[in-house]
Amino acid sequence: MNVLVTGGAGFIGSNLVYELSKKHDVTVLDNFHTGIADNLKDKITVVNDSSRNIGDRFSNADIDIDAIFHLGIPSSSPMYKENPMLVGSAINDAMNVFEFAKKTGAKVVFASSSSLYNGLPTPNKEDMDVMVADYYTEARFGIERVAELYHKLYGISVVGLRFFSVYGPNERAKGIYANIISQFLWEMQDGKIPVIYGDGKQTRDFVFVSDVVRACILAMETDVSGIFNVGTGVSHSFNDVVNLLNNALGTDIKPQYIENPVKNYVAHTLADLTKVKTAIGFRSKYSLEEGISEIV
């Protein structure tokens, strides 16, 4: 199968490309905004460009694309706060991907976000009302709505995966936009004190990137369309994260607690996995402790 991965040099994308390349012919489309070439292995075809140019790049190509993973979407709320115009470009880029799929018949699996739940009661279910509270969630929800339109109007097969708090290898290039687990790990490895907003009792459904990759591939291989959660169904506090990192590193570093400066801060996230288990058979395999052991 010929598979195209937008954002394939990024954190999640590069982990996905590595797994896909074991069985499929993979092409990466990436503008290297947050992705880096070092994340990719040899023998991967790489096209340095934006998702908005997918049609120009591949309509007359020698290969027929069977499936597209659209991960080339700015993935952090602060990016949109710094540049609100990203909302329009993210939606337009996705529309170009969907247009290409409409013409070629390729299946699309795209990255969405648990940020759409934005403080709703846990566990978070896909049929909950979306809570758009910033530019980032507007972009993600906009992409979901456009995807649904393309499915209803043109019959394209399209799956949106609402990733919860993803962590794992190849995240270094994201820097300040990386998951809190990675940020705490890098600080503690350097002997620095991690800073926690509030009392550290806020919780997240932390999901290891290998589980996310497996969910992506299951979504590609299964005859299904729609929106699905991807998490573990278990949440952990930031205090838990520091304790587990200390155990893994053999350290005893105490975090610094400061007043939370973030408006509308989300206290808890937790994925309800009922729908995704039924639709594609996804269950997470990595506990938080096991995932941390993979990156320490």
* Long-range pairs for 80-88: beta carbons < 8 A, 24 or more residues apart: 80/134, 80/135, 80/136, 80/139, 81/134, 81/135, 81/136, 84/135, 86/135, 86/139, 87/135, 87/138, 87/139, 87/142
2-165+208-230, what's its fold?
Rossmann fold (3.40.50)
Give the pLDDT confidence score for residue 263 in this predicted structure.
81
Sequence spans of domains, the chain: 2-165+208-230, 166-205+234-270+286-295
What kind of architecture, by CATH, is found in domain 166-205+234-270+286-295?
A: Alpha-Beta Complex (3.90)
DSSP 8-state secondary structure symbol assigned to residue 41: P
DSSP annotation of 204 reads E
pLDDT for position 43 = 75
- Measured over all CA atoms, what is the biggest interatomic distance in the chain, rounded to whole angstroms? 58
Pick the closest to residue 293 from 255, 247, 253 (CA basis): 247
Weakly modelled stretches of the chain, pLDDT under 50: none
pLDDT tens for each residue of 271-295: 999 999 999 999 999 999 999 999 9
pLDDT at 75: 79
Fold match, 2-165+208-230 / 166-205+234-270+286-295 = no
Peptide bond into 84 cis (omega under 30): no
Q: What CA–CA distance (Å, rounded) separates 143 from 149? A: 10
Block residue for tokens 């566990």 = 123
pLDDT by residue (tens digit) across 21-60? 999 999 999 988 767 777 777 778 899 899 999 999 898 7
pLDDT of residue 177: 86
- Conformational region of residue 69, where left means phi above 0, alpha means psi within -120 to 50, and beta covers everything else: beta
Q: What is the structure's pLDDT at 14?
A: 95
CA-based nearest residue to 69, from 138, 154, 1, 116: 1
